[in-house]
Every structure is written in structure tokens, then in C-alpha cells.
Amino acid sequence: MGIFSNWRRKRILRRARIPQPVWDRAVANLPLLAGLTQEELQRLRDLATLFLHEKSYEPVQGLELNEAMKIDLAAQAALPILNLGFDWYDGWTSVVLYPDEYATRHEWVDENGLAHSRREIRAGEAWERGPVVWSWADIAASGACEDGYNTVIHELAHKLDSSSGHINGCPALHAGMRVRDWRAAFEPAYEDLCRRADAGEHTAIDPYATEAPEEFFAVTSEYFFELPHLLKQLYPAVYEQMRLFYRQDPAMRLMGRLV
Ligand SMILES: [Zn+2]
């Protein structure tokens, strides 16, 4: 059983794989991909090719999208599923791209039945079974440096999280992994970060992670790929569960690099 099990995907790869020189340029511009072996980079190239072909890029508000930008996004998007396979991104096709952060209206009904509405500025969002929305400025900033901020990984972590049927901070786990172990790793870490943020401490992890368990998973996924040594040092059990889930060990491949 190969990662690309269906013939249609094989055909895309045969006919339309991202050309090597174009791919090499994209990789050179993404420090996020440092430390990957040639074999891993080729697998990433295949996944990025599928992302380009299966997802529908929909620029809005006058964003002009060129081929290099499309590949930049596809290369970053492929990283979380490097050892999972493209099937993990099945079930949605639209990628809506704004030039910059965008305003959206968040509406909800509280437990008393009262409707509320609030204007929010966003860098990205992932709809359950729906599109992923991004600000291009934030995608560009995400790939350019490793600072623990990566909106591409963040929103796609929400997509992976939804594999369990709910976006709740616990994706569908692989055989051999246990929800009990996941909770035992994530819950105390989440509570620790909430406690520190509530106490007004400066936290090493972006306090946005304290919004909800699903945000904690999405934000710590950003750190897992961008600043793995930091995450491993702060919350080793979380790092270990993510290593098992993503089937990658970024701290190992970036060994020797200072955080
Ligand atoms: Zn989020």
C-alpha cells in the first residue's frame, strides 16, 4: 500500500509534478523545511503537487496569485501530512486567499438563547467540512522564518483535528496510540498554560493557545514544526504525542539548531 493509492493521483504526479528547479527554489525560500532528507523532500513535492491540483485556490479582494505563491503555500501545507498521506486532506477543496488580514463577523447564540455578533480580524480560519481561508501576508510571513507562528500549519491542524468527527484538540489517532495518553499529555499542559496566562506571566507559547483545547493543539502544532526544541522542553509529553501523530521528529532533524 503506497501513500498515493488511487490511479488519479498517480496520473497527476506522472503528468504534472512540480518541476524540480521550481521546487528547489521554493524549498530554498522556506527555512521551515530545513533538515528534511532528499527522499522526504521528494515525497513533500508529490504532496505539494497534489495540493496544487486538488485544492481550488480562490483569491479575493484583488489578490494577484502567481505560480510561485501557489507553490509556497502547497509546500508548507504538505509538511504536516508528509508521513500521513494526502487522504488526510480529503473532504474539502476551497482555499480562499485574502491579500492581508480580513474582517469577519462572528455570530453565535449563548446558553440563554441570546444572539451575539462581533467583528473580528483574522489571519485565517478552517471551516469544518468547508474551506480554509488565509491572509496571503500571513502565509508569506509564516514561511519566511521560524518563530512559532505559522498560519498554514495552524489551520491545517484544525483540519486534521476534525478527522475524529469534532474539532476538539484530539484528531483521529493511529493504531497503537491511545486517547487516554493524548489527554494525559495535553490536558495538564493546556491547564498549565492557562494558569500562566491568567497570572499575567509572559508565556513562551502564544497565549492564543489558551482559547480552547483545539486552539492549543493548533498552536502547539505550529511550535512542533517551527520551534520543536522549545515545545519539547516545555511540554515533553505533548511533543511525544505529536511525534507519534505526525510521524515526524522535527527536534531530531533540526538538532544542533538553537531555538
Ligand atoms: Zn485556530
Q: How far is the CA of 24 from the centre of ligand 1 (A)?
A: 30
**How much distance in Å is there from the Cα of 156 to the middle of ligand 1?**
9
DSSP letters for 26-39: HHHT-GGGTT--HH
What's the CA-to-centroid distance between 53 and ligand 1, angstroms? 25
Q: What are phi and psi of 185, to 5 degrees?
A: -85, -45
Distance 158 CA to ligand 1 centre (A): 7
Model pLDDT for residues 73-104, shown as the tens digit of each residue: 999 999 999 999 999 999 999 999 999 998 88
Domains of the chain: 14-144 (1.10.472.150), 168-259 (3.40.390.10)
Q: What's phi and psi for 6, nearest 5 deg?
A: -100, 150
Predicted TM-score of the model (pTM): 0.92
Report which of 226, 20, 40 is spatially closest to residue 141, judged by C-alpha positions. 226
To the nearest whole percent, how much of the chain has pLDDT over 70?
Answer: 97
Q: Quick one: DSSP state of residue 212?
A: -
Q: Spell out which residues have Cβ within 5 A of ligand 1, the ion.
A: 215, 218
Cα(192) to centroid of ligand 1, in Å? 19
Whether 230 and 223 have beta carbons less than 8 Å apart is answered as: yes
Residue 45 near residue 33, CB atoms below 8 Å: no
% the chain with pLDDT above 90: 81
Q: How far is the CA of 36 from the centre of ligand 1 (A)?
A: 26
Q: How many CB atoms lie within 10 A of CB 232?
A: 22
pLDDT at residue 254 in the model: 86
Of the candidates 95, 88, 111, 105, which has an alpha carbon nearest to the alpha carbon of residue 151?
95
- The predicted structure's pLDDT at residue 256: 59
**DSSP helix/strand/coil, 145:** coil
Distance, CA 46 to ligand 1 centroid (Å)? 27
C-alpha 246 to ligand 1 mean position (Å): 18
